[in-house]
Structure 1
Amino acid sequence: MRAISQYIAIFVITLTLSGCFFSNSDQQRWEVATQGTTSFALSRDARFGLFFVKKGSNAINTDSETKSGLHFWDLVDNKELTYFGAQDQHDSTVSHITISDNSRFAVTATQTNFAVWDLGMGISEGLWSISDGIIRDIDIASNGQQVLLGLSNGKAIYIDLATGRRLEFLAHREKVNSVALSANGKFALSGGNDHFAYFWDTQTGQILHAFEHEKRVNRLALQRDGKYALTADGGNEAFIWNLKTGEKISKLRTFARQQVFSSARFSDDGHYLMTGSPSGSVMLWDTLSGKKQEQWRSEPLKDARPPTAVVYDVAIDKKQRVVSATSAGIAQAWLIE
């Protein structure tokens, strides 16, 4: 009887903990692309979404499919604002999208070229090609003129599109997997397969702080006021750093053997960090303690085998909800308890 009671207690505790760790109850959702997306970015306040749909992607073809190309969506009014179409003449797959901190501009990238868009005017600012490496990540400053790229050849390249100035940051010895650019374009964060993340000055190329990991660095984030940075690797190390001192503030506390992030963003005040994973998990962390506050599971793509939902972006909206955007072509709003 004692053994049976112990098994029942363990079962009840397991169910209780499962309820604490995951919640699938979103407060609102937007199914903007029934066949899924190859990339999907949110504005800082989650008001807008920019996503790319590729013909013949994962889901079974239906009459309700969204047209192939780039779509700019207003999530508050739940309507499309602009259809940009293909990025280039070959209708290449857009694999990276970032919306500027002020929501006015966006940069999109295929493996070999990138484009800048004026979201307010609904027009393209131009298309640029990269010939010396594959684009692995990209970011843009608020004025829409400075762009930062992470390349497969180990370079992080800062480009001022207005002046033509180009600075190649060569500290990395292997592929650069993730980059982040400050809103004013003056500071950059880059991380790569060499197990290092560097915080550096885009005017001089000088390294301000170096953050070392045990494994390949694959996800970065900058807090918009320059207080904090996140560096995360492909294993189980994710750290939050004080950018003024270079000192470690916290390590994200997770019980998983491996915790890989596909997206990350700090709240405006820096109190929270939001992350998304390739498996569809959306998490909210306390910045100073590194403790996980909430966790949700995003909706997978319908009719896909296996069901998938890579979390491409996360943000907090004006209603103080965490909003996720995924490869399923779905944005979901989660209430912070």
Structure 2
Amino acid sequence: MTFVYHNLKFMLLSAILIACSPAAERIERNERTFSRVQAAAVSHNGQYSLVSTTEEGLRLFDTQTNELLHNWQQEDEGISQIVSAKFSPQADVTLAASRMTLVLWDTQSGDALGAWRNDDSFILDVAVSNQGQHIVLARNDGVVLLFEPATGRRVEFRVHTDKVNKVDISANGQYVLSGGNDHQAILWQTDPVQVRHVFPLTGRVTELTLGPAGRYALVASATQAEIRNLVTGDVQQTLDLGARQKVFTTATFSPQAELLLTGTASRLVEVWSVASGKRLCSWRIKGRAGEHPPRAAIIGASFINANTIVIETSAGFSELWRLPSSCQAPRSPSSEE
């Protein structure tokens, strides 16, 4: 497959368990690759996982059957170092980016829907709306670049004053959440472009994610993690990170935004209550056998259903876990009648 990259400047076209009683139960552990994983993503519905290695390229899996659906190469001249991979909210497309290039893939057919180059600055993170109608890049020059492949519309959002580490976009492409080294996350509207809320933090933004239906968002630094109400901009809850610093490497809300699932580079999985901000359960996964100390960052995670989650690790494994009843979303009064 030959890629034609368009220059964005001119054309846009079994785990060690802790603090969890009763314990979460590991259902499956499947090896995705023998190599270390550079980047990974799990679709919002938990159906697909995408993992990237320098040796094997991009590999798309069905999380239920563990079938390898597609094996892609990002560049013609060889396998590139992938820095970010994201699914659209409906999982109809996935977007993968190296420092300078990005490719949009169709998850069903496996076709490349578009390939672009970004020569102005390094890409640090990406996000994509449904059908790939909007693509957004976080760059180390402080710019958030939004473009629409079908129309050629291009927006450079220049409100951040330092490099932008993380970015997310709503399913319809109308809102972007971006955060960087300037100690703030910004929720902004894409058409017309205007800032809706600014969320200050005590340190650089290390993780953020938009919840379903535009209700909540997580914004986090190493010492502060807040669930924000996106309508009012107010702090919904502050997560208790403890005395030590904690850097989330992945985060996602449950489909009804009742729970928040997070992972860290130190093999820690945590499930939080959005209503109370309390940690409901947590546990550490295993690394690769014979590895001391174990290295298995949680770099992708999602809910499959109300009581089952899937995670992807840098050690090259996918794991399915069943949550205990104490770690599941509370039933609403109407469901108990």
> TM-score, normalising length from structure 2?
0.87
Partner SS, residue 78 of structure 2: coil
1:264-300 deviation digits (Å, cap 9, x = unpaired) = 1111101001111111111100012110011121231
Whether 1:226 aligns to 2:214 is yes
CA contact (8 A) 1:69 1:87 kept: no
| Structure 2 residue corresponding to 1:240, chosen from 217, 227, 235 | 227
CA contact (8 A) 2:102 2:117 kept: yes
Task: Report what 2:118 is aligned to.
Answer: 130
CA contact (8 A) 2:19 2:283 kept: no
Cα drift, residue 54 of structure 1: 1.4
Paired residue type of 2:221: D
CA contact (8 A) 2:24 2:323 kept: no
Give me the whole-angstrom Cα distance separating, in 2, the residues matched to 1:210 and 1:319. 32
Whether 1:182 aligns to 2:170 is yes
Give me the whole-angstrom Cα distance separating, in 2, the residues matched to 1:260 and 1:22. 25
CA contact (8 A) 2:126 2:136 kept: yes
Structure 1 residues 327, 114: closer, same or farther in 2, change over 3 A? same
| Structure 2 residue corresponding to 1:307, chosen from 288, 291, 294 | 294
Consecutive unaligned residues of structure 2, counting only runs of 5 or more, are 1-16, 325-337
| Structure 2 residue corresponding to 1:166, chosen from 154, 175, 180 | 154
Paired residue type of 1:78: N
Task: Report what 1:318 is aligned to.
Answer: 305
Consecutive unaligned residues of structure 1, counting only runs of 5 or more, are 1-16, 56-67
CA contact (8 A) 2:164 2:181 kept: yes
Alignment of 1:224-303 (within 5 A): 224-234=212-222, 236-303=223-290
How many equivalent residue pairs? Answer: 308
> TM-score, normalising length from structure 1?
0.87
1:192-233 deviation digits (Å, cap 9, x = unpaired) = 000010000011220000000111111101012000011001
Paired residue type of 2:233: G
Give me the whole-angstrom Cα distance separating, in 2, the residues matched to 1:24 and 1:268. 20
CA contact (8 A) 1:250 1:287 kept: yes
Task: Report what 1:12 is aligned to.
Answer: none
| Structure 2 residue corresponding to 1:147, chosen from 128, 135, 141 | 135
**RMSD in angstroms over aligned alpha carbons?**
1.8
Using the aligned pairs only, state the percent identity: 33
Paired residue type of 1:270: A
Structure 1 residues 208, 86: closer, same or farther in 2, change over 3 A? closer
CA contact (8 A) 1:70 1:86 kept: yes
Task: Report what 2:83 is aligned to.
Answer: 95
Whether 1:215 aligns to 2:203 is yes
Cα drift, residue 20 of structure 1: 3.1
Cα drift, residue 323 of structure 1: 1.4
